[in-house]
Chain A
Amino acid sequence: MLQAVKLTKRYGGIEALKGLDMTVEGGDIYCLLGANGAGKTTTISLFLNFTEPDAGTASVCGLDVTREPLETKKLLAYIPEQVMLYGNLTALENLRYFAQLGGRDYSREEYRGFLSRVGLQPEAVDRRVKTYSKGMRQKVGVAIALAKQARALLLDEPTAGLDPKASNEFSELLLKLKSDGAAILMATHDLFRARETGTRIGIMREGRLVDELSTGEVTHADVEKIYLQHMHAGGHYAQQGASSA
């Protein structure tokens, strides 16, 4: 579904991504962990073709995103850390707009259906979204992904700043999408949820994928230990030592 082959990206002289190889299949929730600047967001931007790779390819359902930028986007849904909606439009109007941008259209009842599936209170549907909490916005973001009938989802720290209940509801939604067969790639800092919700975990450091785990084979404590080992290993401290020497 989602595949990166030797994906490389430089910003200025700095290599943000160094030959990333990864695959996310349908029914997978692949959680990308790593410090800020490890290359998680860059990976997502490359799949969306918001930025051009310097080498390697990113493909969605076998289509190269740089060659078929519009087609591949139609297969994807993207949910950022802050789902940005149009404040003066209602949830339903926002959803309809984004669905139409994705080339789909539904009846009002169907739109209501999507919004109720993601757990938005029916009375909020016709309210302007400038009054919405972050959790409600993220739900609309998922509804947009549902309405788009995306084959693959790209999530960039979608639960950051959500309260535990909202975060939990969001994870439930992801599990539903997964059971529908979507391929989900999620950048996150939440080790606990990554283990709970994810099927696989990838750990990134300085533009490289340094480890991959299957969540069924590890405990939460294992994940944290392995993550911290990688963060401490060589790189960070060694570099600091070198620069101060």
Chain B
Amino acid sequence: MIVAIARKEFLEIVRDGRFKWTAGIMALLLLTAMAAGYQKYSAYMDMQRLSQDKTNAQWLNQGDKNPHAGAHYGNYAFKPAGPLAFFDNGINNYAGTALFMEAHKQNFAIGRPASDQSSIGRFGDLSGAMILQLLMPLLIIFLGFTAFAGERESGALRQVLSMGVSNRQLLWGKALGIGAAVLLIVGLCVAAGGVALSFADLPMENESLGARVALMALAYLLYGVIFLFLTLAVSAWAKNARAALMLLIGFWAFAAFLAPKAAVEISKAAHPTPAFGKWMADMRSHQMRGIDGVPPFARFEQESREIFAGYGADSIAELPVYVGALRLQKFEEYDFPVFEKHYGELRDSYTLQRRLQDRIGIVAPTLPLRSLSMALAGTDLIRHVDFADAAEAHRRDMARKVNDYLGKAAVSLNTGYGGGNVLIADEAVFAIVPPFKFESQGLGAVLAEHSGNFIGLALWLAAALGLALWSARRLKAEEG
């Protein structure tokens, strides 16, 4: 019975002239978006790889010099786009793509594609994710708003209900039929895109790609089903098809545009991001003053006895490493808590904003989906923070390695004379710092952070289903 209802609903939709238009437009947009996403992704990944290779080579071939000066010469970390960035580019346009790693300074990622775009860029990237997030609900609404309301207006519902079919069976059947029609368009396009991509030689970061794709599909499926049942609920409840359409379009606009914008504004007001100039000045002066109020030079003097004792030495002369290099390394380490505090404050403000946005997200299904989609694509804030952390870890490692080398190579300077080129490092020395390689926390961490968003979608599904069942139960053949 349910299958019979679904088949009729599907046939009716597919044979309607409007379906061909809607399907055509949707398919065109989706395929264009995925092609554009792919083009952008492969260009970006080519650039990322080339740049990383080039900067790695530059590090090695920077010329013979003092190894600590080599650390000042520095090196860049280029951020990989994310495993599914061609589908959902997330915050990549705003978050910076390259991070300069040098001695004594933790830096921001720079190179934000958005800053090179005209104001049209503010509308966001044309991506598969955007089309599915914004237009798939619209497609579902257009195909489904007449499901009950239209049949009630035409009088067909009287005949249908006179057949002795239960309202609930009608609801399931219609959901299945409309769902199949939507899936026909969206599923075909996504599958076509997927097959095309599998032939393209994509520089894929193969991080549990299969699981990411499966979870992504699940999230978008849930999202579609939520809108499907909301549409049916409103269609069964509304006075007529027109009213149903108005209400649904209103909700769509709220969910797709108003709620995300409001969530961002509210979260910024609740957890303000520190003003950049002041934040930077505070951090630099904190470095100078020292974390405990003792400037680095003074602190090193105070702690020198202890530090020397760590090497089993009472005086500089007895040290097995060059004291200058030791001091440089200590200065590096004195800065760690300063960076952690200030970058931590900044990061906390972003994280709190994001978490608040996720909590506000419960008001509309689009928000949790958007968050999940970015996270699964590996283009969200969490991954950006991972990248910045990886770059900072690499920076510290780089500084420590060259300082260690200097300490050992230049130990003769402790007793006054340095024979030969003890302060000069060459390519072989710089090679002790391995090339930067980014490994994110992986899917497990993403899921742990985003369980709330899955719960959000599940709650919306329950609510939409509940509304649809309630509406169907009180469905009448005629108004009033």
Given A88-B15, A101-B5, A80 and B166 contact (CB-CB distance below 8 Å):
no
SS class of chain A's interface: helix, strand, loop or mixed?
mixed
Give chain A residues whose Cβ lies under 8 Å from the Cβ of B478: 45, 50
Given A73-B163, A88-B16, A103-B164, A97 and B158 touching (CB < 8 A)?
no
Residue pair A70, B5 in contact (C-beta under 8 Å): no
**Neighbour of A89 across the interface among B11, B154, B158, B166, CB < 8 A:** B11
A171 to chain B, nearest CB (A): 21
Q: Which residue of B lies closest to A11 (CB)?
A: B480
- Bound Cα distance from A82 to B154, whole angstroms: 10
Asked if A84 and B164 make an inter-chain contact with CB atoms under 8 angstroms apart, the answer reads: no
Within the complex, the shortest CB–CB distance from A88 to chain B, in Å, comes to 4
Q: B163–A98 contact, CB under 8 A? A: yes
Minimal Cβ-Cβ distance residue in A for B4: A100
Given A86-B12, A93-B11, A103 and B1 contact (CB-CB distance below 8 Å): yes
B476 touches which one: A50, A73, A82, A96 (CB < 8 A)?
A: A50
Q: How far is the CA of A105 from the CA of B166 in the complex (A)?
A: 17
Chain A residues whose CB sits within 8 angstroms of the CB of B159 once the complex forms? 78, 80, 83-84, 98, 144
Closest-by-CB residue of A relative to B5 is A101
- Alpha-carbon gap, A83 to B164, bound state (A): 17
User: Among residues 176 to 210 in chain B, which have CB atoms less than 8 Å away from a CB atom of chain A?
Assistant: none
Q: B267-291 toward A: CB 8 Å interface, digit per residue (1/0)? A: 0000000000000000000000000
Q: How far is the CB of B46 from chain A (nearest CB, A)?
A: 49
Q: In this assembly, does A177 line the interface, its C-beta being within 8 Å of a C-beta of chain B?
A: no
Q: In the bound complex, what is the Cα–Cα distance between A83 and B163 (angstroms)?
A: 13
Interface string of A72-83 (1 = CB under 8 A from B): 111011101011
Q: Is B112 an interface residue (CB 8 A)?
A: no
Instruction: Please report the C-alpha to C-alpha distance between residue A84 and residue B12 in the assembled complex, in whole angstroms.
Output: 14
Bound-state CA distance A105–B7 (Å) is: 14
Residues from 22 to 45 in B contacting A, C-beta threshold 8 Å = none
Would you call A73 and B164 a contact (CB within 8 A)?
yes
Interface residues on A, range: 20 to 34
Contact A78 B162 (CB under 8 A): yes
Q: Which residues of A contact B166 (CB under 8 A)?
A: 70
CB under 8 Å from chain B, chain A span 91-108: 93, 96-98, 100-103, 105
Residues of B close to A45: CB separation below 8 A: 477-478
Residues of chain B lying within 8 A (CB to CB) of residue A148: 163
Q: Please report the C-alpha to C-alpha distance between residue A74 and residue B1 in the assembled complex, in whole angstroms.
A: 14
A97 proximity list for chain B (CB < 8 A)? 4-5, 8
Chain A minimum-CB-distance residue to B7 = A97
In the complex, A212 has a CB within 8 A of chain B: no
Cβ–Cβ < 8 Å partners of B8 in chain A: 86, 89, 93, 97
Residues of A close to B151: CB separation below 8 A: 84
Q: Is B385 at the interface (CB under 8 A from chain A)?
A: no
Given the interface pairs A84-B154, A86-B156, A97-B4, the reply to whether A102 lies near B11 with Cβ below 8 Å is no
In the bound assembly, the distance between CA atoms of A80 and B15 in angstroms comes to 26
B309: interface (CB < 8 Å)? no
| A88 CB contact (under 8 Å) in B4, B11, B160, B163 | B11
Interface check B165, CB cutoff 8 A: yes
Q: Which residues of B contact A105 (CB under 8 A)?
A: 4
Which one, B1, B15, B154, B158, contacts A101 given CB within 8 A?
Answer: B1
Once the chains bind, are A74 and B164 in contact (CB under 8 Å)?
Answer: yes
In angstroms, Cα B73 to Cα A122, docked, is 88
Say whether A20 faces chain B, with CB atoms less than 8 Å apart: no
Q: Is B393 in contact with chain A by the CB < 8 A criterion?
A: no
Q: Is A174 an interface residue (CB 8 A)?
A: no
Per-position binary interface string of chain A over residues 39-67, scored 1 when its CB falls under 8 Å from any chain B CB and 0 otherwise:
00000010010100000000000000000
Q: Confirm or deny: A163 has a beta carbon within 8 angstroms of a beta carbon on chain B.
A: no
Residues of B within 8 A of A80 (CB): 155, 158-159
User: Taking the nearest CB of chain A, how far is it from the CB of B38, in angstroms?
Assistant: 37
Name the residue of chain A whose CB is nearest to the CB of B16.
A88
Does A71 interact with chain B (Cβ within 8 Å)?
A: yes
Q: Which residues of A contact B4 (CB under 8 A)?
A: 96-97, 100-101, 105
B5 contacts which chain A residues (CB < 8 A)?
A: 97, 100-101
In chain B, residues 463-479, which have Cβ atoms closer than 8 Å to a Cβ of chain A? Answer: 476-478
Q: Which residues of A contact B16 (CB under 8 A)?
A: 88
Q: Does B253 contact A (CB under 8 A)?
A: no
Instruction: Tell me if B161 is interfacial: C-beta within 8 Å of chain A.
Output: yes
Q: Are B11 and A76 in contact (CB under 8 A)?
A: no
Contact: B163 with A101, CB < 8 Å? Answer: yes
Complex contacts, A98 vs chain B, CB 8 Å: 159-160, 163
Q: Give a binary string over A129-151; 1 marks a CB under 8 Å from any B CB, 0 the rest.
A: 00000000000000010001000
Give the CA-CA distance A71 to B478 in the complex, in Å.
20
CB distance from B272 to the nearest CB of A (A): 57
On whether A78 and B164 interact (CB within 8 A), knowing A86-B8, A97-B4, the answer reads no
**B154 in contact with A100 (CB, 8 Å):** no
- Residues of the B chain whose Cβ atoms lie less than 8 Å from the Cβ of A76: 162, 164
Of B11, B12, B161, B164, the contact of A50 (CB 8 Å cutoff): B161
Q: Is the CB of B162 within 8 A of A82?
A: no
* Chain B: CB-nearest residue to A71: B164
Q: In the assembled complex, how far is the CB of residue A220 from the closest CB belonging to chain B, in whole angstroms?
A: 32
- 11 new A-B contacts, CB < 8 A, other than A50-B158, A73-B164, A105-B4, are A50-B478, A71-B164, A73-B161, A73-B162, A76-B164, A84-B159, A85-B156, A101-B5, A101-B160, A101-B165, A148-B163
Instruction: Give 9 closest A-B pairs by Cβ, nearest first.
Output: A73-B164, A100-B4, A101-B163, A78-B162, A88-B15, A84-B156, A74-B164, A50-B477, A102-B163
15 contacts between A and B (CB under 8 A): A50-B162, A70-B166, A71-B164, A78-B162, A80-B155, A83-B159, A84-B158, A86-B8, A86-B156, A98-B163, A100-B1, A100-B4, A144-B159, A148-B163, A154-B162
